[in-house]
Amino acid sequence: MKRISLILICSLSILYSCNQGKQDTQDKANEQDSTNTENTDNPFFVEFTTPFGAPDFENIKTEHFMPAFKKGIEEQKMAIEAIVNSTEEPTFENTIVAMENNGEILGRVSMVFFNLNSAETTDEIQKLAQEITPLLSKHGDEVALNEKLFAKVKAVYDKKADLKLTTEQAVLLDETYKGFVRGGANLTGEKKEEFKKVNQELSMLSLKFGQNLLAETNDFQLVIDKEEDLDGLTEDIKAAALETGNETENKGKWVFTLQRPSIYPFLTYSNKRELREKIFKGYINRGNNDNAQDNKEILAKIASLRVTRANLLGYKSHAAFILEENMAENSDNVYKLLNQLINAALPIAKEEVKELQKVMDKENPGQKIEAWDWRYYAEKVRQEKYDLSEEALRPYFELENSLNGMFQVADKLWGLKFTERKDIPVYHKDVRVFEVKEADGSSIGLLYMDFFPRAGKRGGAWMTSFRKQHIKDGKNVKPLISTVFNFTKPTGDKPALLSFDHVTTLYHEFGHALHGLLSKCTYNSLSGTSVARDFVELPSQIMENWAGEKEVLKMYAKHYKTGEIIPDELMEKMEKSGNFNQGFTTVEYLAAAFLDMKWHTMTEAKEEKVIEFEKAALDEINLIKEIVVRYRSTYFSHIFSGGYSSGYYSYIWAEILDADAFNAFKENGIFDKETAQAFRENVLQQGGTDAPMKLYKQFRGQEPTTDALLKRRGLN
């Protein structure tokens, strides 16, 4: 859903937050209601006086949030009233730009609050999220459904042809108008009231879904107190598990969690099949344990309410509503792509099962491969076929070297320089901040980087912002961009060592960060990553390509002890094994994309039985039992508490773009300045100021096909 003003960024950000907890908040609400919202000590009431105007985390306290939200809402209401009550004829400047530029306090506090709620949440913040959610949902609807405000916007929109707008101005006007229409502005009477009720309920359910998932993830621990149960695990894996145990009540024991840096190595190397099964089932049953944190009823209600909302707006399904704004345009186009890929990938996955079963037959005759065996036996097959193990590579991917190598890539492409700043306040001691500069030394903005897992951080990796680039009063406002990860922490005297998958994740989120940092847009709501959902992954996914190029590997892949550059032999093995296990990887992902589409192409507002619905959806694509969908419904936070509903396909859609786009670099040289500048000018700088395919064709000179993607994945 496009955002019509800063207020909708605030209200919708609740739907996109995945890291909340659950608490009854009435006492806290009563306490906060009595707070004086005119407290001049509140750091959100004025611009931060820190370098770059960065969030003043040293002085921000939890009690500052609610007063700031209330004052921000009050301030924005006054600004909206001023627009509505103006006796001047509605113009682009006094209506559209005036809407775009209001809400400073609300924007400032929202960016900080919701980012903390994902990366460094607490019980208090989770309680506040439950209070703030209905406030922002109500306020967002009041703006979107304000009939007089919409009449002003429509008056400007109706004379668009005579206004001589720039391309960016025309897009802002279009998106503002569409935002109102898609936000229910044309609804009347009972339908309008029902629409508001649905929005309110959806915002709370999405919040609850994320709260439950975080709690479920944190609640599970595989505690091992017998050394023989560690059979097969490397010393590094055991050391990390022991450190986790020592940080909990299980001091002296080995503790494995459902965080990926913990569970994936265990599933890959543990010789204890029954323990692999236990932790795997703990992972795939999150939100499906029939307890207080169960997500089945919640997500069924979300899916049903989304149909109701879509129907109220005149769409047959939620997917039809969402995809109208994406490059894919409709569900038929999405299904066409997904079917093409699953038909290519599934036979390969079945052949992979046969390979794994052969190895298992040698070790455990009579047993059949199960989902919790896949990574374990896949690693054995990889070592057998390519003489390559993940653990053999890890010493060459020390975090600091990988980070410096990535910065060198950006320097070679665009002349960017990264200088660590110790004087910028951070929200956690592990967070690092870098000032980003052009080749001429002029400052671009700040990049926050948060690398390691902790209880208050949701899983996965993401890019976000504390402030987006835009023009204010004729001056460029520098972006404050943040990337958040969950990499393996340093243990003892050993630094953080990454898997190559983690390295590509580092580059992926860095690509998103560059999209935000290099933005050159006038309007906040169009800048940076404010683009179609199936276009936003292009900058991130294209950056992954550089991580594995031999020329780049020699820049950063150095043994953390000896400083030895990764040997040619290892790089060749990496290249040869590049398409290994692609059947599994592709099918696991595509199954989730199909599941997302199935939930959101529903045309009847019905609360389905989740497990039965999920099984039927996956049976339709003939998903084999040895592969569990990457995200089961009950922990599919991307679509039920994030912004990817009807959009999880976008990763593979964008991979078509990135495979084709990177070919331009391969053709001209991976550090070709002219190609890099063309990508910067036509993609990274443009934000959402023009049609995505137009921007892509301006860079590439043609539309992409699936050929490069199929070749890359070894599916052709």
pLDDT digits (tens, 9 = 90+) for 253-308: 999 999 999 999 999 999 999 999 999 999 999 999 999 999 999 999 999 999 99
CB 15 within 8 A of CB 132: no
User: Given this model, what pLDDT does residue 349 score?
Assistant: 97
* DSSP strand pairing (462-467 vs 443-450): unpaired
Closest of 453, 479, 452 to residue 465, by C-alpha: 479
Closest of 183, 178, 179, 177 to residue 142, by C-alpha: 183
Q: How many CB atoms lie within 10 A of CB 161?
A: 8
Residues in Cβ contact with 387 at an 8 Å cutoff, skipping those fewer than 6 apart: 573
Closest of 119, 291, 128 to residue 220, by C-alpha: 291
Does the pLDDT of residue 706 top 90, yes or no?
Answer: no
What's the CA gap between 500 and 263, in Å, rounded? 16
Query: How much is the pTM?
Result: 0.92
Does the pLDDT of residue 345 top 50, yes or no?
Answer: yes
> Dihedral of CA 571/573/574/576: which sign?
positive
Does the pLDDT of residue 505 top 80, yes or no?
Answer: yes
Q: In three state form, how does the secondary structure of 270-318 look?
A: CCCHHHHHHHHHHHHCCCCCCCCCCCHHHHHHHHHHHHHHHHHCCCCCH
What average pLDDT does this structure show over 81-91?
97
CA 21 from chain centre, in angstroms, equals: 19
227 catalytic? Reply is no
Does the pLDDT of residue 444 top 80, yes or no?
Answer: yes
Does the pLDDT of residue 32 top 70, yes or no?
Answer: no
> Model confidence over 169-203: pLDDT tens digits?
999 999 999 999 999 999 999 999 999 999 999 99
109 vs 35, more confident? 109
CB 134 within 8 A of CB 200: yes
Does the pLDDT of residue 18 top 50, yes or no?
Answer: no
Does the pLDDT of residue 669 top 70, yes or no?
Answer: yes
* Residue 633 token pair: 């419904």
CB 716 within 8 A of CB 345: no
User: Given this model, what pLDDT does residue 39 score?
Assistant: 54
What's the CA gap between 257 and 235, in Å, rounded? 17
Domains along the chain with CATH numbers:
6-144+146-182 (1.10.1370.40), 220-284 (no CATH), 395-576+651-712 (1.10.1370.40)
| Distances 562 to 233, 498, 502, 555 between C-alpha atoms, Å | 24, 17, 22, 15
pLDDT, mean over the chain: 93
> Model confidence over 311-336: pLDDT tens digits?
999 999 999 999 999 999 999 999 99
> Model confidence over 626-648: pLDDT tens digits?
999 999 999 999 999 999 999 99
Exposed/middle/buried for residue 437 (C-beta within 10 Å: 0-12, 13-18, 19+)? middle
User: Given this model, what pLDDT does residue 40 score?
Assistant: 64
* Residue 219 token pair: 């609640």
* Residue 271 token pair: 């010789």
User: Given this model, what pLDDT does residue 23 score?
Assistant: 31
Does the pLDDT of residue 439 top 70, yes or no?
Answer: yes
Quickly state the pLDDT bin for 705 (edges 50, 70, 90): confident
Does the pLDDT of residue 716 top 70, yes or no?
Answer: yes
Does the pLDDT of residue 30 top 80, yes or no?
Answer: no
CB 237 within 8 A of CB 279: no
Structure-token match 């243990």, residue found: 491
Of the residues 509, 537, 588, 626, only one is catalytic, namely 509
| Edge-to-edge order in the sheet of strand 462-467 | 417-420, 432-437, 443-450, 480-484, 462-467
User: Given this model, what pLDDT does residue 205 score?
Assistant: 97
* Residue 682 token pair: 């036509």
Q: Say how many Å lie between the first and final Cα of the chain, rounded.
A: 35
Exposed/middle/buried for residue 477 (C-beta within 10 Å: 0-12, 13-18, 19+)? middle
